[in-house]
Structure 1
Amino acid sequence: MEAMQHTASSDRYAKCIEASKRVRWDIDRDVIRGRKFDLSKKFLPDGLSKIERLSFLDADERRLVSQIQGRTYANLFRLVERYIGAKMLEISREHSLGDQTALEALVRFTDEELKHQELFRRIEAMIAEDMSPGYTFLPRPNDVATAVLSKSTWAVLGLTCHIELFTQAHYRQSIEPDIALSELWKDVFLFHWKEESQHAILDELEWRRENAKLTPEERDSAVADLIDLVTAVDGLLQVQAKADAEYFLRVCDRTFDDAQVEQLHETMLQAYRWQYIVSGVADKRFQKILGGLITEPQFDRIGMALAPIMQ
């Protein structure tokens, strides 16, 4: 039975390598292609921005909110991919003298995450040239990566699997169908999605492999670490949502009453929580994987801890 499971896992690593080779892309040749972002169009689709909750905004203002959120959406991916690349490089060493197929798959994973970081750095610089000055992305990638990597490998892999599953859901359900988006912004996430698809498979394989090593006590501690990580992500989102709402109010051409300002702040945070926590935690594939690794009381414990965010 163990040999059969090993063969099945090795086959899945091999398929990830095959997919990596097939969809391999270049930032300049395939994604940017000499283009600039079209500020006459939205960046983030309505399904992710929660813009329908801000009915007092006119069309131009709604588009500006989508562009601010889209800028932060890209920067948040740049942030999380800093720790993901470091973690995958660390994990790959466990395969160095073992399954060479798994090793190649994870080395490719790391290489692609480094490319994604470069892509999102480039994207931020390009957007900054055209949008009004004053935008600030507050989280520091190295500080966040250090904090995340201090937690158990099980919890880090759980957070990573969650992120890369919602990446796919966002593209398929909201980004790809929206014909009103800036073509370049849409292409950034098309090509990002192409490589994240196999990353999510590798996350699951490594998460299951790590889970098999743990004692019940270690796994219970790892569940606590996962809760801490998601709560920490929410803390970052609260800070950035506040900064982005204030940036919008500064660059907008009119003033708003107190109730509208409060609604703007609330909506920005609700949108970011949906994008980076709720949509991933609620993903059926994520719930199935997580539910197969932990006990029902542990699953309920996570649900209770995250209930204020999920609401």
Structure 2
Amino acid sequence: MEAVQHESPRISPQQRYAKCIEVSRRIRWDIDRDVLRGRFFDPAHKFMPDGLSQVNRLPFLDARERRLMSQIQGRTYANMFGMIERFVGAKMLEVGRDHALGDQTALEAIVRFTDEELKHQELFRRVEALAALSLPPGYRFIPQADEVAAFVLGKSTWSILALTCCVEIVTQVHYRQSMESDSSLSPLFKDIFLFHWKEESQHAIIDELEWMREDARLDDATRDVAIGDLIDLVMAIDGMMQAQAAADAHYFATMLDRALSDDEEARVHAGLVDAYRWQYIISGVDEPRFGEILSRVISERQGERLGAALAPIRRLALESEPDVLA
């Protein structure tokens, strides 16, 4: 694999920006030529691996129903990242201005980052169109990308970069530890997230560099405010995921050839809430690389504040202790 792996902080920031540029040039891919290649989704294949979908928590589903659950979650997964790319690209355009009359290596790295984020948005729009062709009608993605971006961009730069860094790391962990080795997944779905992972590997490094640059400007009181913003962002994501879980549970139930019992419907909904909390929140904040970066910039007291805010989400997400990266 050619994507940049986690670089040691001992390497200078300019060297790290330069390495991201080098790899970006080498691995650059085209949506049609390299990723889609004229293919369509085969309804006979899963999209999401069981460890991420947590479908094993729903033993009353048969094989076809489990596959449908995987496909619905995979469709939401692609839409979720397409939505996230909207505010990430906008924020990177903003922080890139700081380098416009200074470090041109950093500027080029961020310009490439932003260009790739725009390409990823197009990719995920194409994925949604392909999913709509292969899955039954009735699916709804609830969050509105521009509304979400406007809310996120109203928060402090520190909090946005922290969230973005976490999300970019999550995409790498999910692909490398869960998707890459699962031969039962749709080959097209795997390729989409393989190519996405390749470029996100550089993005995570740039996120970290810009986050650390922003952190150096803050005093402890200002950082406290930024941590409050980060908590607000995480809670907003949780709210969106709860709404999407409800929509996906309803869509799933209406697509089955049988009626679920009230208890089964409730368990499907709860399973989706927990799976989405794991996918988009807990698997990120628990990732050691993100934790190491975060620990460099916050105090023990601030860490306890974050931990307390996450506790209700964490408790629900890990309630059944699934083998999340199987």
| Pairwise TM-score range, normalised by the shorter structure | over 0.9
Q: Which residue of 1 aligns with 2:280?
A: 276
Matched residue, 1:88: 92
Kindly indicate whether the alpha-carbon contact (under 8 Å) linking 1:38 and 1:183 is maintained by their aligned counterparts in 2: no
Answer yes or no: is the 8 Å Cα contact 1:227–1:302 preserved in 2.
yes
SS in 2 for 1:181: coil
Deviations 1:137-169 (A, max 9, x none): 010000000000000000000000000001100
| 1:6, distance to aligned residue in structure 2 (A) | 11
Aligned-residue offset at 1:256: 1.2
Structure-1-length-normalised TM-score: 0.98
Distance in 2 of aligned mates of 1:16 and 1:75: 26
Matched, 1:292 2:289: no
Question: Which amino acid in structure 2 is aligned with residue 281 of structure 1?
Answer: V
1:1-311 to structure 2, matched below 5 A, reads 8-311=12-315
Q: Deviations over 1:98-133 (max 9, x none)?
A: 000000000000000000000000110111012110
In the other structure, the counterpart of 2:5 is none
Q: Is the 8 A contact 2:167 2:284 kept in 1?
A: yes
What code does the residue aligned with 2:259 have? T
Moved over 3 A (4+): none
* Larger fraction in helix: 1
Structure 2 gap ranges (5+) = 1-8, 316-326
1:255 CA displacement = 0.7
For 1:41 and 1:7, locate their aligned partners in 2 and report how far apart those are by CA, in whole Å. 43
Separation in 2, partners of 1:106, 1:170: 24
CA distance in 1, matches of 2:11, 2:130: 45
2:45·2:184 contact (CA, 8 Å) conserved in 1? yes
Whether the 8 Å CA contact 2:48–2:71 is kept in 1: the answer is: yes
Structure 1 runs not aligned, ≥5 long: none
- Are the structure 2 counterparts of residues 237 and 13 from structure 1 closer, same or farther at C-alpha, using a change threshold of 3 Å? same
- Indicate the percent of aligned positions where both proteins have the same amino acid: 62
Distance 1:39 1:15 in 2: 40
Aligned length: 307
Asked whether the 8 Å contact 2:83–2:145 carries over to 1, the reply is yes
| Deviation, structure 1 residue 7 | 7.8
Q: Deviations over 1:168-195 (max 9, x none)?
A: 0000011001000011011000000000
TM-score scaled to structure 2, two decimals? 0.93
Structure 1 Cα separation of the partners of residues 99 and 249 of structure 2 = 45
In 2, the alpha carbon distance for the partners of 1:305 and 1:138 equals 24
